[in-house]
A and B are shown apart, each in its own frame.
Chain A
């Protein structure tokens, strides 16, 4: 069965850093592009970052560009999000989501999310 499990969330002060991880299982991780998507409490979904299956192409939302870094380790079936210079507005549930096979432009599998709280 296909699974994505996020970890690494927690409480951090403004200006601090966190590293999120997403462990993938049940599919050939290296064949799929991946995304991070976040959701502020009571609000909608916001796409954060995308990484191509070989890491050759990476995209960021303007709101996190220059502060967040997405990466992956295909040998470990893992996706990461390094978050630096965190702000209160980064408080959200962060989901990792798999893109459909090929350059498909949709997300077909989602994890349960990990909560990041940025507060003093």
Chain B
């Protein structure tokens, strides 16, 4: 089955850039999306189709995808960005696959 691997945690100082990676075989050949989940809340889509951002998501969130790695960047991270982040892709055999998740800490 297809698997997506993320680092368990990422820490960043306020105003700095947080980089979250998502790795999978030939991931660059698939569309990747990212969702944010704050404690006690439902997930929220922040990036879709590798680089697209929903209209209500701040521009400090950006995405890229190439080779075996997709990346979510939070440029100028704020304390409100502290959350768990999950990448997600579609596989023709497995259907939807989520990454293992990354906890982002801003302090």
B97 close to A105 (CB less than 8 A): no
Closest-by-CB residue of B relative to A35 is: B96
Bin the interface of chain A by size.
20 to 34
Judge if A32 is at the interface, Cβ distance under 8 Å: no
Q: Mark A40-62, 1 if CB is under 8 A from B, else 0.
A: 00001111001000000001011
A47 close to B97 (CB less than 8 A): yes
For the complex, give the distance between the alpha carbons of A95 and B35 in Å: 14
Q: Do most interface residues of chain B lie in helix, strand or loop, or is the interface mixed?
A: strand
Residues from chain B with Cβ under 8 Å of A105 in the complex: 30-31, 33, 89-90, 96
B33 close to A106 (CB less than 8 A): yes
Chain B contributes a number of interface residues (CB within 8 A of A) equal to 26
A104 with B48: in contact, given A44-B86, A44-B101, A62-B1 (CB under 8 Å)? yes
B48 close to A110 (CB less than 8 A): no
Residues from chain B with Cβ under 8 Å of A44 in the complex: 84, 86, 98-101
Closest-by-CB residue of A relative to B52 is: A106
A-B contact pairs, 6 of them (CB 8 A): A37-B43, A45-B88, A46-B98, A95-B43, A104-B48, A107-B35
Q: Which residues of A contact B (CB under 8 A)?
A: 35, 37, 44-47, 50, 59, 61-62, 95, 97, 100, 104-113
